[in-house]
């Protein structure tokens, strides 16, 4: 596959973030996979294979506004443990199906295992069982946040639906992994990822960590673009049948042969 073109857009005016973006784009391994293009506007998405959004750095916590998930997208928090889908409502089978489709097409995970996390009681406590038996989706739960973090059982799942919104998902992610997560705005034809949190530079050591937070959504975008291409190609060109069903041929031959009774009737009439 050819090198991808990844557009990187800074959602604000900040020289420190620009410098970090340029430093992240010097990653040799990254340059072997893609051609990063820095742009001040999201219009670069039209000419690129994927778009990575970077919120401007803030001198103090809260000084920079985070990037909001578009209304037509589904937010997924990508970590090294699992992918989290925050919901502000109780999940439904439709939500589970959407996450299953995202994990299969965008993350190349076949028959993903999905867990439900909800602190309060669910109106439909048998939802996981219904999704498993009726839709064939491997679904488990509901769990509490403490249960999903206990003994690191989160690693047993490919996707986790968190009914409690983005903040609830972020609390779990903060305790679950030390590596930089990434945000993915799924459910759209274009691939858009984003840096997990607004950047904030305090020390030279912290600068290295910020570079890692920038490269993770870039690598995630590359993987998603490639996974989608393989997934769609496999379904556009299905494998031919490995056998020929002779029953269809026999049916066709029978329909083409004249009926013997018709021939006998005609001979009787001629006599």
Bridge partners (DSSP) of residue 74 are 186
The residue that leads in pLDDT, 150 or 246, is 150
The residue that leads in pLDDT, 225 or 45, is 225
Spell out the residues 6+ positions from residue 158 whose beta carbon is closer than 8 angstroms to its own. 82, 83, 103, 107, 109, 112, 113, 114
Rounded to whole angstroms, how far apart are CA atoms 128 and 133? Answer: 9
Tens-digit pLDDT profile for residues 78-129: 998 899 999 999 999 999 999 999 999 999 999 999 999 998 888 999 999 9
Q: Are 249 and 33 in contact (CB under 8 A)?
A: no
The residue that leads in pLDDT, 241 or 26, is 26
Q: Given the structure tokens 């600068």, which residue do they identify? A: 207
C-alpha distances out from residue 193 to 128, 169, 196, 218, Å: 29, 17, 9, 7
Rounded to whole angstroms, how far apart are CA atoms 65 and 14? Answer: 13
Least confident of 19-33, 78-92, 154-168: 19-33
* Per-residue tokens: 120: 């309060």
Of these ranges, 14-23, 137-146, 173-182, 240-249, the one predicted with the greatest mean pLDDT is 137-146
Mean pLDDT value of segment 180-185 = 93
Residue 45 has pLDDT above 80, yes or no: no
Mean pLDDT value of segment 20-32 = 84
Residue 11 has pLDDT above 70, yes or no: yes
Residue 100 pLDDT: 97
What is the percent of the chain where pLDDT is above 70?
A: 75
pLDDT band at 243 (very low <50, low <70, confident <90, very high): low
What is the percent of the chain where pLDDT is above 90?
A: 50
Exposed e or buried b per residue across 90-106, where buried means at least 16 C-beta atoms within 10 angstroms of its C-beta: bbebebbebbbebbbbb
Residue 176 pLDDT: 87
Residue 60 pLDDT: 45
Edge-first strand order for the sheet with 138-143 is 34-39, 4-11, 50-55, 191-195, 182-186, 74-78, 83-87, 159-163, 113-118, 138-143
Rounded to whole angstroms, how far apart are CA atoms 268 and 126? Answer: 72
Mean pLDDT value of segment 128-151 = 93
pLDDT band at 249 (very low <50, low <70, confident <90, very high): low
Residue 161 has pLDDT above 80, yes or no: yes
Rounded to whole angstroms, how far apart are CA atoms 171 and 148? Answer: 12
Rounded to whole angstroms, how far apart are CA atoms 221 and 223? Answer: 5
C-alpha distances out from residue 118 to 111, 123, 186, Å: 23, 11, 22
pLDDT band at 265 (very low <50, low <70, confident <90, very high): low
């Amino acid at each position: 596959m050819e090198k991808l073109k990844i557009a990187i857009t800074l959602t604000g005016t900040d020289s420190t973030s620009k410098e970090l973006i340029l430093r992240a784009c010097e990653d040799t391994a990254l340059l072997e996979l893609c051609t990063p293009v820095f742009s001040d506007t999201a219009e670069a998405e039209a000419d690129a294979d994927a778009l990575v959004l970077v919120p401007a750095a803030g001198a103090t916590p809260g000084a920079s506004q985070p990037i909001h998930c578009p209304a037509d997208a589904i937010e997924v928090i990508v970590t090294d443990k699992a992918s989290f889908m925050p919901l502000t409502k109780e999940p439904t089978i439709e939500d589970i199906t959407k996450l299953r489709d995202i994990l299969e097409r965008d993350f190349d995970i076949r028959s993903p295992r999905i867990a439900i996390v909800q602190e309060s009681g669910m109106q439909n406590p048998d939802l996981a069982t219904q999704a498993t038996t009726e839709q064939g989706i491997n679904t488990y739960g509901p769990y509490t946040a403490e249960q999903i973090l206990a003994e690191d059982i989160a690693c047993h799942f490919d996707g986790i639906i968190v009914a409690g919104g983005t903040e609830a998902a972020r609390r779990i992610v903060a305790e679950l992994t030390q590596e930089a997560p990434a945000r993915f705005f799924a459910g759209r034809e274009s691939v858009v990822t984003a840096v997990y949190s607004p950047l904030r530079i305090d020390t030279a050591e912290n600068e290295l960590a910020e570079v890692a937070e920038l490269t993770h959504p870039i690598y995630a975008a590359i993987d998603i673009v490639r996974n989608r291409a393989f997934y769609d190609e496999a379904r556009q060109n299905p494998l031919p049948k490995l056998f020929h069903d002779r029953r269809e041929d026999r049916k066709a031959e029978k329909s083409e042969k004249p009926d013997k009774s018709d021939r006998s009737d005609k001979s009787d009439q001629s006599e």
